[in-house]
Chain A
C-alpha cells in the first residue's frame, strides 16, 4: 500500500513554537522531526513500502516520486523551502493524479497530510473548497473521495484546542467524511515540542505502519512470517455483516491444489510472505554454545542457514506448479504460491480470496474439500492424468445448452433452415431432423407461437410435394408425419401440445426393422 506524504510548506508552518528550552523551533521543524521518525521506522520495519513526498502551498510539487529509498526522502525533507499560503484542494488533486499515474485506480494508498491546521483563507482555502463542493461541474470535481481506495491521515502540528478555535478541525473532519471516513486526524497532545510530536507520529506508526507478523503452519511444520503489505480488514456487506473481517495471525495450510485447477482466481490483494527470525528461534540455536553466539557475525546470517519451512514450501510449490490453500479466518481462504519477479528472483506470495464459503465456483465449497485419500478412487488418476476440478455447475449456462432465441429474425430463420436442410437429406438425417424439429416445437409452445408451428407444417408439406422422383420413399412418409404432428401441436390440444412430448420418427417398412413392427 504505497504512501504519499503531503507536506504543508506554507509560510504559517514557519511560525515559531514557544518552548522553554533554549532552542527555538518552527512548526516545520517539528513536522520534519515527526516525518523523519516515520521514515526511519519504515526504512527498518516497512522497507518495501513505496513512499512519495509532495510539498504544497498554493502550488504543489512532487519532491520525490514513489521510492523505497528513504535516504532520498529524508534528504528532500531536509531541503524543503518555505512558500506562500495553503491551498489543500489543488494538492489533493495532485495526490490523486500522482497516485493514479503510478498505480492506477485499484491500488489502495495511504495519504499522510502534515499541516499546522491553518488551511488558508479566501479562494483556495479548504473552507472555500468545502463550501462550493456542490456547485461544481464534472470537470472540476473535488478530488475526494479519491478514485483509488485510500486512508487519509491528517497530522496536525497543532493542539486540538488550537484547531477548535477556528473551524479547522471541523473542516478536516468534513474532509475525512468525504473520503468515506477512511483515515484519522491526529493532533498534538500537550505543548508543541519534540516529545509530543514523536508521540503523535508514534500513534500513526502503530495505526498504519505496524508490520503484520503471523505464523504459517502446515500441520506440525511452521515458520514465523511477516506479511507485506499488511492485510487490511475488509467489509463484506454492510447490512448483513457490518463488522470488518481481519485475517488471523495463525495462517494454517489446509491442502494443496494444482495451478491449472485453481486457474487464475480473482483475488482481493496480494502479499509477500517473508520468513522472519524470531528471537526465540535464535535462542534455541544458541542454547548449546552461548559463547559462540557472540562470535557469530550477525544473527541474520545465522537465520539464513537454519532451515526454514517457507523456503522448503516455496521451492516445492515452484517445482510442482502448485498452490497451497491457506485458511485466513472463519470461511476465509487464500492461496500461497511461488511468484517470480525475474528469472532469478522468486518469492512466496499469498493472495487473499473473497471471504465466504465458496470463493471460487470451480472449487465448490471449500469446507467440502477433503484429502484425496478419503476418496474411493484417486480423483487425480493413478498417473496424475485426471483432475476433480473444475466442478460443473448444476445448471448449464445458456451458451452451453443450445437455447432457442428468436428475438432476431435470423435466429428463427436459422432454426427453420436447419430443419429444412435435414428434411432434404431424409432418411439419412432422420435423427437430426426430428431433434431440430422438436427443439423448434418446444420453443414455439413455450412462447405461445402456434402460428409458427402451422407455418413449418405447411413448409414440410410443400417440401413433400417438391421431393424429386429419386427421393427415398421414406422421406415423404416422415415429412407428412412431422407436418401432421406439428399441426396437432398447434391446436393446443393437451395430448399433442405437451411440452415434454417429443415427435418421434414414424415407423415405416423402410425405416424400422420387421421386429419393431411386430411389437407394434
Chain B
C-alpha cells in the first residue's frame, strides 16, 4: 500500500440527530440465569441498543482493528454531527487510540430526542470531514518538508465513512452532491493556503443503517465515480450485528486485510472461575480463533491458488474467506532465527471471547506458536508463526519453499577458513561489549551532538584500533594481567582512577618481568622452544606500546598511560638507538601509505611494529643460531613456515641504513651456512668474494653463488 493512499486518512462521520436515538429493535438479554440462583426469580427485561449505540460501537470496532494492525500512519478523524459538528480528535498520532475516542464519545452522549429536528443534519459533519481531509497530517507534513521542491509527490487522498439514517435514494444523492460541491469549494481555499492540501481523491462510503424489521428506504450501490475527485458507494444495512459485520468487511477491504483462523488450539479443562458462567463453554474441546492481519501474510496461498480448497471456509458474511492454519504445540522456548519473509500485526476478530484472550495471553507471555498449513496432498508444512514482541502480536510468514542458498560452501572452505586459532571467545566478549541498546530520542541529541548509532560506530572504531584476530598474533591479549588496561584504554575518555588502574597494570607487568614470570607467547610457527624470556617480554612490551599508542590521540590521560608504558619498559641503550632508526623508517612508510586509506596505514604500522619486534628477536637469536634446523638445501615446506615471515630475518651487522629484506635473508643464510661446513678453498682465496671456478675449463663461470642455497633459486 502506498504511504499516502486513501487509507492514510479516514474521516468517520456519525449521525447524532434525534432519529438515531431510536431502538435498533434487537434485544439483548443481560440477566442470564446461572447456577446456584434462587428459584422463581423473574429475569429483568432485556435491553436494546439505539441506532446511535450500534453506530458508535461498530465504528469503534473498526478503529480497534485498524489501530491494532496499523498503530501508526493510518489515521482516523472522528466527527459527530447533529445541529453542529463535533470533531472528537485530530489527525495527530497522539490522538489515535480508542480510549481517547471513547472518552470524548462519552461527553457527546446519546442523541437528544428533544432537539429541534430542523437544525439537525449529517451535512454539518460531512462539511467538517471534507475540511479535515484538506488538513495536513504529521506524516504529510514531514514528507513534504523532506522532499522540499518535490513536495507535490505527496498526495492527499482520503476516505469519508458516513454512518447515518437516510430518508431515500434521493436523499443519498443529495448528500453525495453536497460532498462533491464542498470538496470543490474547500480545494479552492486549500490551493491558496500553505497549511492545507487540495483533496486529490476522496472515497465516500455512505452507510445507511435502520432498525431491525423495517423496510430499507435506501438501496445498495457499488462504488461509482461521481467526479475525478470523488467516488461514492452506498451500503444499506440493519443496525446491530449486521452493521458490525458490514464494518468488519469494510475495514478488511479498506486496509487490505485478510483473515486466518487458528484451529485446534488446545485449552486446558482446568479453567479459572470465568468458565463457570461461560454459556457455551465446552472446555475439553479444541478452539478456533479468527485473526485479522494484512493480506500479504497469505501471499503464498493467493499466488499458488491454494486459497480456496480445504484450507478455507466461507465466513458468516459470505463475502470474505478465512485461511485455516493448525496450531502446533510449541516446543521448549528455543531461541532460533527463522527465515521469515514477513511479519504482520494481528487483531482478533472477537477480541474478548475466551478462546481469543487465551491465545493472546499465551502469546503475550512470550511463547511463540508455529502454525501448520493443511495441504491438499495431506503433507504438513509449517508456514506461519505467531509471536509477540513487546506486547504486540505478529503473524510471521515463514519460508517453506526450497532455498536457493542450499548447500552453500562452508566458511571453513573459504578465505581464512584454515586458520584455527581465531580469538573467537575474545571477539564474543567484544560483541557483548558492543551490544546495542535503545536511547530515548531527546537524550540522543546530547553527548557531542551525535546520534546514538554514530556513537556506537565510534566505539567499534576505538575498540578495534589494535585487535589481532588470532591467538598466535598476540601476547598481551592472552595475559590476564593486561586485561584491566586493555579494557580501559579503548574508552573515549579516562578518569583519574582509570589512569591509575592502567599504571598499576603496567607496574604489575614490570614486577612480572623482574620475577621472570613466564609469558603466554605463542610458539605456533616458531621452531624450537621459541624466544627467550627477556625476548618474550620485549615482544609483550612492544605490543602493549602498540595498543596504547593507537589511543594516544584520544586524550591527555591516554598520553599519560603511554608515557607510563614507555617509562617502565626496559630497553638497552643501543636498542633505543635502533628504535629511533626504525621509527624513521616507519615515518617514511607512513608517508607512503598516507595516500591510501587510514586503516591501511594502520595496518602497515602494525606490520612495521611486528617487524621491529622480529628484528630485535633476531639479534638475540643470532649468536645461538639454533633456529635453523633444516639443511639449507632442503626445500622449505610452506606449511611449516612461521606466520611472521620476518621472524627469520636477520639484522645485517652494523646496518648503516635501510637494508632490503632480501639482503638480510641472504646474509643470514650465509652466516648460518658458513658455520656448518668448512669453507671452500676457492672462496677463502677469493678476491672480492669471487673466485674463479673450474679455471681449467674457462668456458664456464657465474656459478659463484651456488652455495647460497635457495636465496638465489
Contact = CB atoms under 8 A, between A and B. Distances in A.
B469 interface: yes
A448 B353 CA distance: 23
Contacts of A341: 406-408, 410
Interface stretch (B99-107, B176-184, B324-332): B99-107
Pick from B102, B109, B438, B710 the residue with the most CB of A within 10 Å.
Answer: B438
Contacts of A325: 436
A407 B58 contact: yes
Interface in A404-432: 404-414, 416-418, 420-421
Contacts of A276: 414-415
B337 A262 contact: yes
A218 B415 contact: no
A403 B396 contact: no
Interface residues of A, number: 157
A308 B613 CA distance: 23
A337 B431 CA distance: 12
B341 interface: yes
Contacts of A218: 460, 464
A66 to B, nearest CB: 9
Interface in B401-453: 401-419, 422-425, 427-428, 430-441, 444, 447, 451-453
Contacts of A345: 407-410
B424 A275 contact: no
Given A220-B467, A393-B392, A462-B44, A405 B352 contact: yes
Contacts of A371: 434, 436-437, 452, 455-456, 459
Interface string B461-489: 11111010110010000000000000000
Contact of B347 (A238, A262, A399): A399
A105 B304 contact: yes
A446 B56 contact: yes
Contacts of B185: none
A402 B45 CA distance: 28
B390 A370 contact: no
Interface string A125-139: 000000000000000
B387 interface: yes
Contacts of A420: 34
B671 interface: no
A265 B343 contact: yes
Pick from A295, A400, A446, A459 the residue with the most CB of B within 10 Å.
Answer: A446
Contacts of B694: none
B431 A256 contact: yes
A210 interface: no
Interface in B96-152: 97-98, 102-103, 105-111, 143, 147
A390 B364 CA distance: 12
A370 B30 contact: no
Interface in B349-373: 350-353, 356-357, 360, 364
Interface in B61-78: 61, 64-65, 67-68, 71
B396 A266 contact: yes
A408 B447 CA distance: 54
Interface string B386-406: 010111110011011111111
A497 interface: yes
B267 to A, nearest CB: 16
B437 A459 contact: no
Interface string A227-251: 0010000000111101000000000
Interface in A264-281: 264-267, 270-272, 274-277
A399 B340 contact: no
A460 to B, nearest CB: 11
B583 interface: no
A418 B276 CA distance: 11
B244 A407 contact: yes
B401 A107 contact: yes
Contacts of A313: 427
Contact of A393 (B143, B279, B391): B391
Contact of A311 (B422, B432, B456): B422
Contact of B29 (A275, A379, A409): A409
Interface in A372-396: 372-375, 379-380, 384, 388-396
A344 B28 CA distance: 64
Contacts of B629: none
Nearest to B441: A368
A398 B64 contact: yes
Contacts of B713: 291
B436 A312 contact: no
Interface string A439-470: 00011011111111001101100100010000
A500 to B, nearest CB: 7
A203 B397 CA distance: 37
Contact of B399 (A106, A413, A451): A106
B354 to A, nearest CB: 8
Interface in A291-342: 291-292, 295-297, 301, 303-317, 319-325, 337, 339, 341
A476 interface: no
A124 interface: no
Interface string B309-329: 000000000000000000000
Given A370-B436, A398-B67, A451-B48, A312 B102 contact: no
A378 to B, nearest CB: 9
Contact of A220 (B389, B432, B599): B599
A357 B337 CA distance: 22
A220 B602 contact: yes
B599 A306 contact: no
Interface in B27-47: 28-32, 34, 38, 41, 44-45, 47
B379 to A, nearest CB: 14
Nearest to A275: B415
Contacts of B422: 307, 311-312, 315
Interface stretch (A22-30, A165-173, A358-366): A358-366
A339 B336 CA distance: 11
A219 B462 contact: yes
A255 B460 contact: yes
Given A104-B304, A416-B30, A446 B437 contact: no
B435 A451 contact: no
Contacts of B158: none
Nearest to A404: B352
A453 to B, nearest CB: 10
B341 A267 contact: yes
B187 interface: no
B409 A274 contact: yes
A267 B57 CA distance: 37
Nearest to B602: A220
Contacts of B462: 219
B656 interface: no
Contacts of B50: 448-449, 451
Contacts of A406: 28, 57
A252 interface: yes
A520 interface: no
B646 interface: yes
A369 B342 contact: no
A499 B105 CA distance: 9
Given A255-B460, A370-B452, A388-B438, A347 B30 contact: no
Pick from A1, A271, A337, A389 the residue with the most CB of B within 10 Å.
Answer: A389
Given A308-B416, A311-B416, A369-B436, A107 B299 contact: no
21 contacts: A264-B340, A264-B385, A266-B341, A272-B408, A303-B416, A304-B416, A341-B408, A348-B411, A365-B441, A368-B452, A370-B456, A398-B348, A405-B351, A408-B353, A409-B29, A411-B353, A450-B110, A451-B47, A455-B30, A459-B31, A497-B109
Given A296-B638, A407-B61, A499-B103, 15 more contacts: A102-B402, A219-B464, A221-B467, A266-B397, A271-B405, A303-B416, A315-B422, A341-B408, A349-B405, A370-B436, A370-B438, A389-B390, A447-B60, A448-B52, A450-B110
Nearest 5 CB-CB pairs, A to B? A308-B416, A370-B452, A104-B401, A219-B464, A448-B110
